[in-house]
Chain A
Amino acid sequence: EPEVTQTPSHQVTQMGQEVILRCVPISNHLYFYWYRQILGQKVEFLVSFYNNEISEKSEIFDDQFSVERPDGSNFTLKIRSTKLEDSAMYFCASSEEPGTNEKLFFGSGTQLSVL
């Protein structure tokens, strides 16, 4: 089965530093997403992306966050100035079509630890 791949698997950073989380979505998918999961809590939607622009974003996705598709294969999430509360597992996902009835394929995640 095709996979969404994420790098790195773990990222440790100091508060205030910038981090970039990387994802390679499934090749024929057009819709991309970032979710996060704080330890012991729910999987939370951050942002969806289509046709090189943000489709939707949650209230979590503030000005410190940005997403980009720098080339034909990568999809990145940047946190400009990390805070302690940004510590979480970040999941990238992709789908062929948008919408709540669509099957999302998730990556294995990047565990971000902000010290």
Chain B
Amino acid sequence: LAKTTQPISMDSYEGQEVNITCSHNNIATNDYITWYQQFPSQGPRFIIQGYKTKVTNEVASLFIPADRKSSTLSLPRVSLSDTAVYYCLVGDENSGYSTLTFGKGTMLLVSP
């Protein structure tokens, strides 16, 4: 079961870099690691996806060590508008579904 564990909440200030780490000890060989962002009363929004090493896009970076048992989402210079819930997802073969299984996510609060 590729269950993920991430902090329930994190606090930060505007302009700081935020790193949210997710552990997924039982990740399967074929699984990618995907992060979504959800604002209140909105649907989740894809942020970034990776398989190994480092992935960077215009929004974030994703760091994945060689053993792939964890991953870190890095948000550079956060602003108030980055306040949201961030979900780390990996494939979950034992869920019985070929689609995404969301956990509780990490609630990031960015303060002025």
Contacts and interface: CB of A to CB of B under 8 A. Distances in A.
A44 B102 contact: yes
B65 interface: no
Interface in B73-110: 87, 89-92, 96-105
B49 A101 contact: yes
Interface residues of A, number: 26
Given A101-B31, A103-B34, A103-B49, A89 B98 contact: no
Contacts of A56: 96-99
A76 interface: no
Contacts, number: 70
Contacts of A89: 41
Interface in A91-114: 91, 93, 98-101, 103-109, 111
Contact of B98 (A93, A99, A108): A99
Contacts of A35: 102
Contacts of B30: 101
Contacts of B45: 106
Interface string A16-53: 00000000000000000101000000111100100000
A42 B104 contact: yes
Interface in B13-62: 30-32, 34, 38, 41-46, 49
A14 interface: no
Contacts of B31: 100-101
Contact of A100 (B42, B43, B46, B92): B92
B43 A108 contact: yes
A58 interface: yes
29 contacts: A33-B99, A42-B103, A42-B104, A43-B38, A43-B44, A43-B87, A43-B102, A44-B102, A45-B99, A48-B97, A48-B99, A56-B97, A56-B99, A58-B97, A89-B41, A100-B89, A100-B91, A100-B92, A100-B97, A100-B101, A101-B34, A103-B46, A103-B49, A104-B46, A106-B44, A108-B41, A109-B41, A109-B43, A111-B41
